[in-house]
Amino acid sequence: MTLLSVNLNKIAVLRNSRGGHEPDICRAAQTCIEHGCGGITVHPRPDLRHVRPDDVRALAAMLRGRVEYNIEGNPFAAPRGDYPGLLALAREVRPTQVTLVPDSDGQITSDHGFDLSRDLDRLRPLVDELNALDCRVSLFVDAGNQDFAAAKAIGVRRIELYTGPYAEAFAEGEPDAVLASCAATARLAQQAGLAVNAGHDLSQANLGTFKAAIPGLAEVSIGHALIGEALYEGLATTVRNYLQILR
């Protein structure tokens, strides 16, 4: 079954809006695990607007040996204040997977992936270091990329398809063209020996259609919609609902 990795950034956003320690991000992770999720995702950023380095460390301590731990971020973002940088965090906590994302402070959320025809040379030394740490490397990419054999050659093991355009097209009632592009890109990646993850704006409404179009989908990372839906149905019920869709 496709693994569900729950992104907990929005738990941290709610906590940070008030200060203090509630809601507790580790308690949220525990609830997700107890109800069947196979992974936890966080995406720390240098501006500390949601998940903070101390959250990354606390989650690492509680998750080790239980479920997969996926840390996302821009490997080129310089250390700033309490943020030591993505690779420094990976050295500290040794997550199962590091998903490299070309985001910046000016983006409210990630809105594009790497261009594999352009970016692999500068990614190569970072991928080497992460592999030496025994962290599986995934690259966040847009549908339409093709240079997957080259990505595989530098040690990348997965891609994460950016599904924002699919979710938008689905909401407008016209998902077919974008979905076909995602499916074609996934096939090319798999033929090159890469596993395929997906994430961004996936929800209970659109996930089933997406999964049906992508045979062998390894993992979905879902946060914003899942946490929003949990406000109405509860976190435990919402996690179970997603798992049922993935089955």
Q: Which residues are part of the catalytic machinery?
A: 43, 72, 200
Classify each residue of 180-196 as buried b or exposed e, where b means 16 or more C-beta atoms within 10 Å of its C-beta: ebbbebbebbbebebbb
Is 240 a known ligand-binding residue? Answer: no
121 is in an annotated binding site: no
Is residue 21 a known part of a binding site?
A: no
3-state secondary structure of 5: strand
Copy the structure tokens of residue 117.
């025809």
Q: Residue 112 is inside which H or E element, if any?
A: none
At 161, is the secondary structure helix, strand, or coil? strand
Burial of 86: CB neighbours in 10 Å, binned 0-12, 13-18, 19+: buried
Closest CA to 4 of 232, 231, 204: 204
- Residue 94 counted as an annotated binding residue: no
In terms of Cα–Cα distance, which of 213, 159, 211 is closest to 183?
213
Q: Is 18 annotated as a binding residue?
A: yes
- Tell whether residue 105 is among the known ligand binding residues: no
Please classify residue 232 by burial: count the beta carbons closer than 10 Å to its beta carbon, then call 0-12 exposed, 13-18 middle and 19+ buried: exposed
Q: Which residue numbers belong to the known binding site for 1-deoxy-D-xylulose 5-phosphate?
A: 45, 50, 109
Q: Which residue numbers belong to the known binding site for 3-amino-2-oxopropyl phosphate?
A: 7, 18, 201, 223-224
Q: Which residue numbers belong to the known binding site?
A: 7, 18, 45, 50, 109, 201, 223-224
